[in-house]
Structure 1
Amino acid sequence: MIIRGTATDGAVIEPSTSLWSHDPKDPWAVVVRFTEHEVTWNLSLDLLLDAFASPPGTRFGSGDFGVELDGDSALLYLKGEWGSATMKFPSKEIQEFLNQIDDQDSEEFVAQELENFLEAL
């Protein structure tokens, strides 16, 4: 699923396009590829699910990845060798992605995500 949002390093805010996918071979991870920077992150599915099942303003995770709901937005806190960034996405779109993981058979979900990605190119 393609989700558009913004990225900030604390000084500059840039638009960001990301491709979200879930591989049933690694059921506890969500893979997010940020297209502008050709960066891929493996995010904890558990942390995402916990954040979306909790009241807004509760931050989950520490270290390299954290997630928090803030109104209609989901904030992802990412840290790496390159520094850190806060990604802001519409929480409704991430929730839709998480619902697809629950609602669809894993093979069907992966096939649909691949089809969506190829259509977006």
Structure 2
Amino acid sequence: MLLLGRYDTAGQLRLVGKTAPLKQGPARDVAEHLTPAGPDHPWTGVRFTASWNSRTPREPALVAPLLVAEVSADTSQDHGVWRHPVRYEHLRLDATHTDVPLLRSGAP
């Protein structure tokens, strides 16, 4: 599962969704491109639930928020976060996080 973030107009990295669990091939592809996060990662110390309805918090493995992933999502949102897990399509190695438009309030 990937936690997906976008930077907002104030420069804060905001959670905008989660993927469904990745299959082995895509998971391996993503893992090859991840860089461990430093201690200054904006989500350091933040705990996330395993699913939208779960109350059990989990500590994520934080990585540098540099990669861009293409995903498929429906339009259902709660407070700017996709309500349902999104489907991971592939990494966009031709793009960086600076190519992604900044998040406006309330829209992933």
TM-score (norm 1): 0.28
Q: Which has the larger helix fraction?
A: 1
